[in-house]
Copies of this chain bind each other. A is one copy, B any other.
């Protein structure tokens, strides 16, 4: 038997009396509305439908789905457009183009299957440590340039002889709900989480305290509004801490267990055992094309 408030179709939905938006999630393109339907309180969640992979070849071309575009920006090999699937509509799509794209770009943007690795202290000593030592210096030159005062100095929010804090390149510098800062430390001997010991606790607490102070003073974000974490494996081997608004959940691997470690947990563990990161098995996922994964598999450890 159908429920007395069962909805048949558009005519029922058209009686919706909108009250307010109670949730908004730009990452999943969704809105949740509160209002009334047929005298009863109702919640309506609206989200965009997924793009169909089988339409991949139909978007462009003379007879393609995309009927109109407007260029937003273009710099070097990157261009961004908004696109319309018919001419007289709200914009439907955002289109980002990289052209010409190198093989490195193709690898970076191609989906890789993730594989979970359990890195014992032995595996670290015999395989991962040398991988980190051989990591090309050129890939952290941009970090050196910031730490040595050669670039991005106007962006720096805080610095002392141990570390500096600046906006992460992923942040738009405006939207406080997606605030994203990064801390770079001066001590080049800390390559990753594995190198942290009890004598680093003061450094880690100072990072935490200064980050909290800065976001309070600059953006009026109270204590408890930041999620701070460390990647293992990180994308570059110069110790850094991610500092993000605790309400910001962009999806992807960045904040996920098996990739990220909460700074607060790291401090607490070091206080209990100053060699914990030397002794523990650290587990993380790697893309199946990763060079580190290849080395780990070849080691048979």
Contacts and interface: CB of A to CB of B under 8 A. Distances in A.
Contact of A280 (B38, B106, B268): B268
Contacts of A77: 3, 5
A155 interface: no
Contacts of A44: 59-60, 95-98
Most chain B C-beta atoms within 10 Å of own C-beta, residue among A31, A46, A77, A279: A46
A192 to B, nearest CB: 16
Given A10-B69, A53-B21, A116-B246, A90 B85 contact: yes
A210 interface: no
B20 A56 contact: yes
Contact of A23 (B8, B13, B111, B229): B111
A18 B56 contact: yes
Chain A interface residue bracket vs B:
35 or more
A282 to B, nearest CB: 7
Residue from A33, A99, A262, A281 having most chain B Cβ neighbours under 10 A = A99
A85 B95 contact: no
A246 B89 CA distance: 39
Contacts of A5: 77, 99-100
A298 interface: no
A91 to B, nearest CB: 5
Interface stretch (A128-136, A161-169, A247-255): A247-255
